[in-house]
């Protein structure tokens, strides 16, 4: 595809540039409107500047991806209500044997959770708990925050529902859930091992500063129990025999006391019955949530349509809950869905300018995946673009081009090309603090935490992220197969 007219190229580049600035730096001083409004502004400018028509803008919105994203959000909300993430948090601290053991647990649990519940959800839920564990054990929060974010990114590569760019790739490539999982799983396992090893090597000494004050903690707990213990002193009753009226009054008072006590006991019994019924209902709903989630994953593994499977699971949970779904649906990140709509339109408009095609035509002869040097060039292009333009726009810009290049080699290499794009674009998120939304979520949650406010700087992340990303990308590429 050749370049479009000069006017379209300039105006389309301006529109995409505004979208990129808003996506990477959502709080820029001259236009602090945020990522979602920034994506809509970029989309609107593409239409106003006639880079793309309104009809083309509407058709560029990928409804299967939005449906899959919405469905997985709803399922994650019900899993949170069923205390799934609470149980994951408890696994982190259960019989922990020190800072290094805790770091390894965070890496494993974060990776597992992200593969099933998305990396962003995992980081939102676990960041505060990780900070709490670090403070309780007198450990620096930095290695644990890095472990959480980086492992979430690596773990999310394994499944189509692990992150947004994988959703795009799974829908566009039509690779089944099972093939996607088995194609990247070996690389993910090795990647988590390498990532954990790098973290342990970098923070070995600081992870050994576990505080040894168990006796003091035990004493504090005992003191707390004494302070909060409620004593019920016995009451002595004194009867007077001086006159019969007093005795009658005493008898009537005693009868009233007996009646009151009966009423109270009855109320307590009714309250206990209601509480038992509520607990049984909660237990039933919790079991249903887990069964529906397992059913959804099974349906995805056997190759059913991913979007409709996720929507079906979400609606099944809403019906089983048997109450107004408004409070749960209010928790869905509609701003993210709107952001995707604007991004689809903006990227489609930028593709219309011809700039991505011209760039790819220049790089394509050197970036073919049938030899090592081509694989290295392709990976480098994806790494740089993912950190420059973010990973989802990179996938939207390069996906069809990479697949077309692989098809020219052999149709059998096309699925592997898509999985390479998924692996590199996601792992690239660990390169810098701005590389993925998961990194920014962890950084922002830690900074705003009332328990342990901590700022993870760009450069401190880069010192770890650069070697980790390069090593994991290179080692993982030969292990990807489909």
Residue range 8-67, pLDDT digits in tens: 999 999 999 998 888 767 667 777 888 889 899 999 999 999 999 999 999 999 888 888
Residue 63, class by beta-carbon neighbours within 10 Å (0-12 exposed, 13-18 middle, 19+ buried)?
exposed
Average pLDDT over residues 106-121: 87
Percent of the chain residues topping a pLDDT of 90? 33
As a whole number, mean pLDDT of residues 296-301 equals: 88
Q: What is the pLDDT of residues 148-186, one digit of tens each?
A: 999 999 999 999 988 888 988 998 898 999 999 999 999
- pLDDT tens figures, 356-404: 888 888 888 888 888 889 999 999 999 988 887 778 888 888 888 899 9
- Residue pLDDT, tens place only, 184-232: 999 999 999 999 999 999 998 888 754 443 433 333 333 333 333 332 3
Q: To 10 degrees, the CA torsion angle through 195, 197, 201, 204?
A: 110
CB 159 within 8 A of CB 165: no
Compute the distance between CA of residue 432 and CA of residue 461 in angstroms, rounded to an integer.
6
Cα–Cα distance, 95 to 341 (Å, whole number): 45
Q: Classify each residue of 38-47 as buried b or exposed e, where b means 16 or more C-beta atoms within 10 Å of its C-beta.
A: bbbbbbebbb
How wide is the angle at C-alpha 388 spanned by C-alphas 383 and 389, nearest 5°? Answer: 100
Phi, psi of 317, rounded to the nearest 5 degrees: -65, -40
- For residue 13, the Cα-to-chain-centroid distance in whole angstroms is 31
Output the pLDDT for position 230.
33
**R_g of the chain computed on alpha carbons:** 29
The pTM is what? 0.73
Residues 405-429: tens digit of each pLDDT: 999 998 889 999 999 999 999 999 8
| pLDDT range class, residue 444, cuts 50, 70, 90 | confident
pLDDT score for 129: 83
Model pLDDT, residue 284: 85
Interhelix angle 355-363/6-24, rounded to 10 degrees, is 90
Expressed in angstroms, the distance from the first to the final Cα of the chain is 29
Cβ burial of 260 (10 Å; 0-12, 13-18, 19+) is: exposed
**Can you tell me the distance from the alpha carbon of 427 to that of 114, in angstroms, rounded to the nearest whole number?**
13
The pLDDT mean for the chain works out to 81
Under 8 Å between Cβ of 456 and 433: yes
């Amino acid at each position: 595809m050749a370049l479009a007219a000069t006017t379209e190229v300039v105006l389309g580049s301006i529109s995409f540039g505004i979208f990129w600035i808003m996506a990477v730096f959502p709080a820029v001083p001259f236009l602090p409107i945020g990522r979602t409004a920034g994506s809509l502004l970029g989309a609107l400018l593409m239409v106003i500047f006639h880079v793309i028509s309104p009809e083309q803008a509407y058709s560029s919105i990928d409804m299967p991806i939005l449906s899959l994203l919405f469905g997985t959000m709803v399922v994650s909300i019900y899993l949170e209500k069923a205390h799934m993430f609470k149980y994951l948090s408890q696994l982190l601290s259960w019989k922990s044997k020190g800072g290094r053991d805790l770091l390894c647990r965070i890496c494993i649990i974060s990776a597992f959770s992200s593969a099933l519940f998305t990396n962003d959800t995992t980081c939102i839920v676990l960041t505060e708990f990780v900070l709490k564990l670090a403070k309780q054990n007198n450990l620096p929060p930095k290695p644990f925050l890095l472990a959480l974010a980086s492992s979430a990114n690596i773990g999310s590569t394994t499944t189509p529902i692990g992150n947004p760019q994988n959703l795009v790739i799974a829908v566009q490539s039509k690779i089944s859930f099972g093939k996607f999982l088995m194609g990247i799983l070996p690389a993910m396992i090795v990647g988590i091992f390498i990532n954990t090893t790098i973290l342990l090597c970098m923070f070995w000494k600081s992870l050994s500063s576990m505080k040894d004050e168990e006796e003091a903690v035990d004493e504090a707990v005992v003191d707390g129990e004494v302070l909060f213990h409620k004593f019920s002193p016995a009451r002595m009753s004194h009867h007077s025999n001086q006159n019969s009226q007093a005795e009658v009054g005493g008898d009537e008072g005693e009868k009233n006391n007996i009646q009151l006590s009966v009423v109270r006991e009855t109320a307590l019994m009714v309250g206990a019955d209601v509480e038992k019924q509520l607990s049984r209902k909660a237990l039933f709903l919790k079991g249903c949530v887990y069964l529906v989630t397992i059913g959804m994953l099974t349906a995805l593994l056997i190759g059913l349509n991913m979007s409709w499977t996720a929507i079906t699971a979400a609606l099944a949970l809403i019906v089983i809950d048997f109450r107004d779904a408004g409070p749960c649906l209010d928790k869905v990140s509609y701003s993210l869905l709107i952001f995707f709509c604007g991004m689809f339109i903006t990227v489609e408009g930028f593709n219309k300018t011809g700039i991505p095609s011209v760039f790819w035509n220049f790089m394509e002869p050197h970036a073919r995946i049938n030899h090592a040097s081509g694989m290295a060039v392709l990976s480098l292009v994806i790494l740089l673009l993912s950190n420059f333009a973010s990973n989802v726009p990179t996938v939207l810009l390069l996906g069809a081009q990479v697949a077309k290049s692989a098809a020219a080699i052999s149709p059998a290499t096309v699925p592997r090309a898509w999985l390479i794009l998924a692996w590199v674009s996601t792992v690239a998120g660990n390169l810098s603090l701005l590389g993925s939304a998961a990194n920014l979520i962890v950084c922002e949650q830690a900074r705003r935490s009332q328990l342990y406010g901590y700022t993870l700087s760009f450069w401190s992340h880069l010192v770890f992220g650069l070697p980790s990303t390069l090593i994991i990308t290179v080692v993982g590429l030969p292990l990807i197969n489909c």
